[in-house]
Copies of this chain bind each other. A is one copy, B any other.
């Protein structure tokens, strides 16, 4: 079985390869495709050394040719960053000048990334379908919710994945001292806008114990006050602080180094280490790149989609289809689902607290307009999407941010704009 990775020169790739051999995903060929062939060569060589060290016979193919990568693949992973960390650095900066958070997936910066990314991903996916209509497209590309929605709207056999949920699952398992697989999340919302509204071990709710005994520890992890978790009886994801603490974070970020600049530095160092021909394992530094448990989530999803075994419970980005009643059927949500070779089936989530439901509906409506702007282009669609975002929502700000977004992304958006 062959798997292709588009954007294979990512510094994450060794993490994924580590997962393949460590977690026993049975693939015979891994095709790493990337236009940056010199970087790809560094990454691919390390991956080969890693597999060799543990005696794994999987072949690593490196290529800049999409057709070569995709032909014969059972699954195609898409993990792109259009414009690289430099573009992200700008996404994190210019929205601040209008008093809005600069972040690569949330708010105006997230829309900029979506506008740059969606056309590229759709174009790749179109070729994947031509060559290989049965292949699963597994999307890790941020903003995962919007990109996955654009893929599904075009009829692709796609599913979106993020590591937020698995990170919380592992944290809870550690706190409760149980095996991770026994922790079942009721994960509600959208990508980067989610709440755990129930957590069970062996069928029993452990949420009260997590909030009671471990409330401070969990709150610390998601960087929100324990009182919020306890009074709502839910565990919001870390990204909710961009909403609940928006203005404080804007002030904190003004003049501070961007996350992009930090990551760029880490990546430079990582690539230098990868190039060391004696290195045969992923370096410890990789954990500081973000993306904890990325390989666990990816390998588990591929195993379920490509295997022939029983369905396994995983948190994925899929069509709503009535699971969240405040959203249209065609919205894309992030939810616990049973995944097998036929795809993912969402597990019902029960009542959604109004505090979460209102925000989810608001952001999901923005995402619908964001996909529209990314696919159809034009200043007016961009402005409307920004006005629809709960963190923006005002005419002046939407107009000013539209100008900045267009000016900052002229090289990517000019043909479409």
Show the binding face of A for B, using Cβ within 8 Å. 93-94, 96-99, 224-225, 228, 231-232, 243-248, 251, 254-257, 325-328, 354-355, 357-359, 361-366, 368-369, 380, 383-384, 387-388, 390, 393-397, 399-404
- Would you mind naming 30 contact pairs between A and B with Cβ atoms under 8 Å apart? A93-B97, A98-B254, A231-B380, A231-B384, A232-B384, A243-B394, A244-B387, A244-B394, A245-B395, A245-B396, A246-B393, A247-B394, A254-B397, A254-B400, A255-B402, A255-B403, A256-B403, A326-B327, A354-B366, A354-B388, A355-B369, A355-B384, A355-B387, A355-B388, A358-B361, A358-B362, A358-B364, A358-B366, A361-B362, A362-B390
Q: Which residues of B contact A397 (CB under 8 A)?
A: 254
Contact between chains at A393 and B394 (CB < 8 Å): no
Q: Is the CB of B354 within 8 A of A365?
A: yes
Closest residue of chain B to A400 (Cβ to Cβ) is: B255
| Assembled-state Cα–Cα distance A244/B392 (Å) | 9
Q: Which of A380, A383, A400 has the most CB of B within 10 A?
A: A400
Q: Can you name the residue of chain B whose Cβ is closest to the Cβ of A250? A: B97
Stoichiometry, as copies per complex, reads 4
- Given known contacts A255-B400, A326-B327, A395-B225, A365 and B369 CB-to-CB distance under 8 angstroms: no
- Cα-based distance from A397 to B244 in the complex (angstroms): 9
Residues of B within 8 A of A388 (CB): 354-355, 358-359
- Are B355 and A255 neighbours in the complex by a CB distance under 8 Å? no
Q: Is A401 a contact of B255 with CB atoms below 8 Å?
A: yes
A237 to chain B, nearest CB (A): 15
The 10 closest A-B pairs by CB, nearest first: A255-B400, A358-B365, A361-B361, A96-B97, A255-B403, A354-B365, A97-B97, A362-B362, A358-B362, A254-B400
**Are B369 and A361 in touch, CB under 8 angstroms?**
no
Residues in B with CB closer than 8 Å to A231 are: 380, 383-384
Q: Complex formed: what's the CA distance from A403 to B254 in Å?
A: 9
Report the nearest B residue to A325, measured CB to CB: B328
Contact A254 B97, beta carbon cutoff 8 Å: yes
- Residue with the highest number of chain B CB atoms closer than 10 Å, among A228, A387, A404: A387
Q: A357 contacts which chain B residues (CB < 8 A)? A: 361, 365
A243 to B395, CA, bound (A): 9
Closest chain B residue, CB of each to CB of A402: B255
- For A243, the chain B residues whose CB sits under 8 A away are 393-394
How far is it, in angstroms, between the C-alpha of A257 and the C-alpha of B401 when the chains are bound?
A: 12
Set B228, B256, B359, B380: member contacting A362, Cβ < 8 A: B359
Least CB distance from A118 to B in Å reads 17
Residue in B closest to A329 when the chains form the complex, CB atoms:
B325
Given contacts A244-B387, A327-B326, A384-B232, contact A251 B396 (CB under 8 A): yes
Question: How far, in whole Å, are A98 and B102 apart by their CA atoms in the complex?
Answer: 13
Nearest CB to that of A363 among chain B residues? B358
Task: Determine the chain B residues whose CB is within 8 A of the CB of A93 once the complex forms.
Answer: 97
Q: Which residues of B contact A251 (CB under 8 A)?
A: 396
Please give, as numbers and ranges, the residues of chain B lying within 8 Å of A254 by CB-CB distance: 97-98, 397, 400, 404
Interface centre among A228, A365, A366, A388 (most CB of B within 10 A): A365
Contacts of A97 in B (CB 8 A): 93-94, 96-97, 254-255
